[in-house]
A and B are shown apart, each in its own frame.
Chain A
Amino acid sequence: MSEKPILSVRNLKTYFDVTKGLFSKKQIVKAVDDVSFDVMPNETFGLVGESGCGKTTLGRTIVKLYDPVEGSIEFMGKDIANLKGAELKAYRKDMQMIFQDPYASLNPRMTVGEIIKEPMIIHNIYNTDAEREERVVELLRIVGLKPDHIRRYPAEFSGGQRQRIGIARALAVNPKFIVCDEPISALDVSIQAQVINLLENIQKEMGLSYLFIAHDLSMVKHISDKIGVMYLGHMVEMGKSEDVYHRPLHPYTTALLSAIPIPDPDVAKAKSRILLEGEIPSPINPPAGCPFSTRCPKATERCHKEMPQPIEVGGRMVACHLYER
């Protein structure tokens, strides 16, 4: 590999203290536990996993909404895990985020113009309000909205339009990297495709890199160059999206893929769906050994005792004892 990754996460751990009351036993949620991955410039890294597996926490740790307990986040060759003050502000200019809920992520008391202008005011990008206004109109055009929408309030728009406003806000500071935290899961299927295409076009035009978080594997496969699969705070499998999608290694990925609905009843009948037993274990009290061992159809004695280390198999990473030699 000749190119250097734009974002390089190493052994990242984000824990939350959820101890209730003064005297109870200390309880810690290991939301993200020892996760490492790289994102190349102009690439999209897709992150999948079921609810509560820590993918949103991972995204929020990368944009510094949460502080990691351990590990490093290297962005353009600089460790940002412990940034403060002016340096943090400069980092925020390069690293932006698109949120899951287009209804909650826009301040209902601000007009669209004010929302998109705010990042420019915070980072002092333009000197006059006229210049900012001009840029807002340009951004609205890029995301497919009309200039006359500038004086309107978020409540007057549909979910898809609001998500476009959210994208315009993220683009306002000319970031190099955008964390997309399930940007399409709150939208209608027909609108999802529009937003995905918009994100892809913007990436091509502006040379952005994405960390794309979702729980829909087929959508992630479409947009991503690489996919990482998370389970209970751990990265269980990672590789090129084609490989992961068509030839999954980890039993959890296999189960996830079998859950994708197929729009053809004949094929769907022929396909066997792997049903996972039980609930996702609590991250406060994770199972010993492999985190997936409690639900894994192929679990052995060893899986319940020993934590599998990530190993490389055919150019990708998998954390499973089945592939160790």
Chain B
Amino acid sequence: MSEAEVKMVLPENAFEKLPEDEKNNEFIAMKSRSYFQDVWFQYKKNKLAMVSLVFIIIMILMAIFMPMFSRYSYEAQDLANPNALPSAAHWFGTDKFGRDIFIRIMYGARISLSVGFAAAAINLVIGIVWGGMCGYIGGRFDMILMRIVDIIYSVPTLLYVILIMLIFGSNMFSVLLAICISSWVGLARQVRAQVMSQKEQEYALAAKVLGASDMRILFRHLVKNSIGPIIVNTTLMVPSAIFTEAFLSFVGIGISIPMASWGTMANEAKNMLFSAPLQMVWPVSAICLTMLALNFIGDGLNQALDPKKRSR
């Protein structure tokens, strides 16, 4: 085709010059968000999870500050005023010894929440280190450590919980030990699976070629990239630890009286179930609401962290 022919097929005014400002095609308009900014952005969209988060934060603040400023204490008895119904003086009423139930619930929240979060934190650390090393090193080392995990997993939890309680006595430390000794294995398995799938990725190989130490590759690269499911799992561990503590206290091998735990309070209230049923309602609803809220938070995080589960 000659130039004249081209001009006939394509008249000169068929094309227009692109304005200068549209030529900048390398420009990225969207604001850059870090991983956690993005997660928070997604999390905020979930109303139920936001309400739950606010609930738990209020609960934590109340558990910390209420007992400081209250005129009642968890153990002070007022035998002249037992089994009182809720009133302005005693918001949730009093129990059979005349102790203020509201403040006891707050003390119970202290124990429950600290047991829950401490157990989750301990599990997180042990799970990441154990599972991370297994997944990263692999081979015989992995074989031996994972068989230990299997053994721990196969012993009934209640069995060594009772043994621990017998040996260390009924206190917060032994409750924590009893919860942690078995629940980290699930997390360790998960971390191991994540690390194993990540370590063959090219970015991990690239870090190795760059001369990064094994510790750096494992924690800076592999664990950092598997943090999503790990966080979800850890969040869901909090309610299960709270439940275990309440259960142990209820059957009488957890926190011992007169310390107030939601479990012990429910236990004490069960004798009064027919004469003062409200006394049972308070600790049980405290357990229920807390567990629900924490589960909703876990759910919300799960959605926010996993792009596949996001709703548009």
Chain A residues proximal to chain B, CB less than 8 Å = 60, 63-65, 88-89, 92-93, 95-97, 99-101, 104-109, 111, 118-119, 122-123, 146, 149, 151-153, 156, 166, 169, 173
Cβ contact within 8 Å between B216 and A65: no
Given contacts A109-B224, A153-B32, A156-B30, contact A169 B210 (CB under 8 A): yes
CA A122 to CA B35, docked complex, whole Å: 24
Which residues does chain A contribute within 8 Å of B28, judged by CB atoms?
149, 152, 156
Cβ contact within 8 Å between B26 and A123: no
Given contacts A146-B26, A156-B28, contact A118 B207 (CB under 8 A): yes
Cβ contact within 8 Å between B26 and A92: no
Cβ contact within 8 Å between A122 and B32: no
Cβ contact within 8 Å between A92 and B225: no
Binary contact readout B202-228 vs A (1 if CB under 8 angstroms, 0 otherwise): 110111111111001000010011010
- Check if B154 is an interface residue, CB within 8 A of chain A: no
Q: How many residues of B contact A (CB 8 A)?
A: 23
- Check if B201 is an interface residue, CB within 8 A of chain A: yes
Cβ contact within 8 Å between B210 and A92: yes
Which residues does chain A contribute within 8 Å of B208, judged by CB atoms?
65
Q: How far in angstroms is the closest Cβ of chain A from B205? A: 6
CA A63 to CA B207, docked complex, whole Å: 12
Supply 11 A–B pairs (Cβ within 8 Å), ascending by A. A89-B211, A105-B203, A105-B205, A107-B207, A107-B224, A111-B34, A118-B212, A119-B211, A122-B212, A149-B28, A169-B210
CA A49 to CA B216, docked complex, whole Å: 35
Cβ contact within 8 Å between B210 and A119: yes
Cβ contact within 8 Å between A105 and B32: no
Given contacts A122-B216, A153-B32, A156-B28, contact A107 B203 (CB under 8 A): yes
Which residues does chain A contribute within 8 Å of B35, judged by CB atoms?
109, 153
Q: How far in angstroms is the closest Cβ of chain A from B204? A: 8
Other than the known A101-B202, A107-B225, A122-B212, what 17 A-B pairs have Cβ atoms closer than 8 Å?
A63-B209, A64-B209, A65-B208, A65-B209, A92-B209, A92-B211, A97-B205, A104-B201, A105-B205, A109-B225, A111-B32, A122-B211, A122-B213, A152-B32, A156-B30, A166-B206, A169-B206
Which residues does chain B contribute within 8 Å of A100, judged by CB atoms?
202
Binary contact readout B180-216 vs A (1 if CB under 8 angstroms, 0 otherwise): 0000000000000000000001110111111111001
Which residues does chain B contribute within 8 Å of A169, judged by CB atoms?
206, 210
Which residue of A is nearest B210, CB measured? A119
Cβ contact within 8 Å between B202 and A104: yes
Cβ contact within 8 Å between B211 and A105: no
Q: How far in angstroms is the closest Cβ of chain B from A260? A: 27
Q: How far in angstroms is the closest Cβ of chain B from A122? A: 5
| B225 contact from A60, A97, A108, A149, Cβ within 8 A | A108
Binary contact readout B28-61 vs A (1 if CB under 8 angstroms, 0 otherwise): 1010101100000000000000000000000000
Which residues does chain B contribute within 8 Å of A149, judged by CB atoms?
28
Cβ contact within 8 Å between A106 and B211: no
Given contacts A107-B225, A109-B225, A146-B26, contact A122 B210 (CB under 8 A): yes
CA A92 to CA B207, docked complex, whole Å: 11
Cβ contact within 8 Å between B205 and A118: no
CA A125 to CA B70, docked complex, whole Å: 59
Cβ contact within 8 Å between A105 and B202: yes
Which residues does chain B contribute within 8 Å of A152, judged by CB atoms?
28, 32
Which residues does chain A contribute within 8 Å of B209, judged by CB atoms?
63-65, 92, 95-97
Which residue of B is nearest A120, CB measured? B210
Which residue of A is nearest B28, CB measured? A156
Task: Output the residue of B35, B201, B221, B227 with the most chain A CB within 10 A.
Answer: B201
Which residues does chain B contribute within 8 Å of A92, judged by CB atoms?
209-211
Interface residues of B in 229-255 (CB under 8 A from A): none
Which residues does chain A contribute within 8 Å of B30, judged by CB atoms?
156
CA A97 to CA B203, docked complex, whole Å: 11
CA A64 to CA B224, docked complex, whole Å: 25
Which residues does chain B contribute within 8 Å of A97, judged by CB atoms?
205-206, 209
CA A169 to CA B211, docked complex, whole Å: 12
Q: How far in angstroms is the closest Cβ of chain B from A16? A: 13
Task: Output the residue of A64, A65, A107 with the most chain B CB within 10 A.
Answer: A107
Q: How far in angstroms is the closest Cβ of chain B from A320? A: 34
Which residues does chain A contribute within 8 Å of B32, judged by CB atoms?
111, 151-153, 156
Interface residues of B in 46-94 (CB under 8 A from A): none
Q: How far in angstroms is the closest Cβ of chain B from A85? A: 11
CA A219 to CA B213, docked complex, whole Å: 35
CA A122 to CA B227, docked complex, whole Å: 23
Task: Output the residue of B30, B207, B210, B216 with the most chain A CB within 10 A.
Answer: B210
Which residues does chain A contribute within 8 Å of B212, judged by CB atoms?
118, 122
Binary contact readout B6-30 vs A (1 if CB under 8 angstroms, 0 otherwise): 0000000000000000000010101
Q: How far in angstroms is the closest Cβ of chain B from A188? A: 15
Which residues does chain B contribute within 8 Å of A65, judged by CB atoms?
205, 208-209
CA A119 to CA B210, docked complex, whole Å: 6
CA A104 to CA B26, docked complex, whole Å: 22
CA A107 to CA B223, docked complex, whole Å: 11
Binary contact readout B124-157 vs A (1 if CB under 8 angstroms, 0 otherwise): 0000000000000000000000000000000000
Which residues does chain B contribute within 8 Å of A109, judged by CB atoms?
35, 224-225, 227
Q: How far in angstroms is the closest Cβ of chain B from A91? A: 9
Q: How far in angstroms is the closest Cβ of chain B from A207? A: 20
CA A122 to CA B212, docked complex, whole Å: 6
